[in-house]
Amino acid sequence: MASEKQQAYHAESHFERLYSTAPREFAFRATCRDEWITWREAFRPRLRELLGLEAMETDLRGHRPEAQLLATAELDDHTRESWHLWVEPTVPLPFYVLRPKGREGPLPLVLTPHGHNQPHVYVGISRDEAEAKSIAEGERDIAVQAVREGYLAIAPTTRGFGKTRTEEDRLLDAVSSCRTQLLHGLLVGRTPIGERVWDISRLIDWAIASQNVDAGRIAITGNSGGGTTSLFAAACETRISVAVPSSYFCTFQGSIGSITHCACNYVPGILRLGEEYDVAGLIAPRAFCAIAGRDDPIFPIQHTRLAFERVHRVYEVAGAPDRCELYVGDGGHRYYKDGAWPFIRRHFDDRTSAS
């Protein structure tokens, strides 16, 4: 007769055991600079492969993205342009460019991927009272903040949102098509995170080629899902010199592995490579600041602090502990601009960072 222990099934305990016993091939164990370099040079290609970026490189070889300017708006202190960039032959990705008035190039570039809200929120456009409140209370006009710092800001539509939703989701006015994006992408070896990283890289290509930006000063910062894109893009894309993910950096096990999240967060097999702090460690020695809310219910602060201790160890071994910071805001799941712009400004002025 089966014991009571064998008969009982408890999902949370089962998943916790899965996470804690999965072998993590690239868990950071380096103790010197040479070991750190060997680790990152082996880990980054495997991460890119897992995200689907290597498959995209193969499938889209020969594609040359073209950009189209759609509209321009003159505002008090900056110009706001609406563009499309064909990041794939079938994907005209909408994005905004915000240009500061009275500043000559080459300008530092800040990319501001958004999370599970509308793309226009990041450029300060509110279409109803709820969006206006969200911008004001959560400091979510991040691209506007960037352009007012004197930077060229690019605010892309996150793939699966806005005009890149499915026709059905647009008719239903669903916030996103993340689940559909995930499931269809899996059939050909892609992930939503990988597609969003791809889009960031194509925007960097375009900006460097045509927008008179300072290629040595490129930052990325976004909140929540925008923080996800910020972290993974900086881990994979070494042209990004400063990464400031907000309301995302945590542990996989302590957040998306134990709390309900959007399907776009999940990368098959990621914990068999490493934890989130290992992924973030690929950004070293480039500047990294994780912004967190003390009371964020979906990215618990205790797991964020643990993750920061681990990623800071990578920076210590890389010889750059002063380029790795954690800023904890006195609130919940939102953006905290005081944690972002002083850090970005300081490290834009630091030309000693290397990829």
pLDDT tens profile 243-290: 999 999 999 999 999 999 999 999 999 999 999 999 999 999 999 999
Q: Which of 182, 140, 164, 197 is nearest to 84 (CA)?
A: 164
CB atoms within 10 A of CB 309: 11
Residue 3 has pLDDT above 80, yes or no: no
Average pLDDT over residues 281-302: 98
Q: Residue 346 pLDDT more than 60? A: yes
Count of beta carbons in the 10 Å neighbourhood of residue 114? 26
**For the residues 286-304, what does the mean pLDDT come to?**
98
Sorted by where each starts, the structural domains of the chain and their CATH numbers stand as 28-348 (3.40.50.1820)
Mean pLDDT of 150-178: 97
Identify the sign of the CA torsion 59, 65, 70, 74: positive
pLDDT for residue 232 is more than 50: yes
User: Is the pLDDT confidence value at 8 over 80?
Assistant: yes
SS3 35: helix
CA 200/CA 196 separation, integer angstroms: 6
Pairing of strands 242-246, 213-223: parallel
User: Tokens 């375009």 map to which residue?
Assistant: 206
The answer to whether 109 and 203 are in contact (CB under 8 A) is no
Across the chain, mean pLDDT equals 95
- Residue 251: the pLDDT is 98
345 near 337, Cβ under 8 Å? no
Q: Is the pLDDT of residue 353 over 80?
A: no
Residue range 105-126: mean pLDDT, rounded: 94
At 10, is the secondary structure helix, strand, or coil?
A: coil
pLDDT in tens, 44-96: 999 999 999 999 999 999 999 999 999 999 999 999 999 999 999 999 999 99
Stretch 25-40: mean pLDDT, rounded? 98
**Residue from 143, 145, 139 nearest 158 by CA:** 143
Q: Determine the Cα–Cα distance for residues 40 and 291; give it in Å rounded to an integer.
A: 24
Name the β-bridge partners of 156.
95
pTM, 2 dp: 0.95
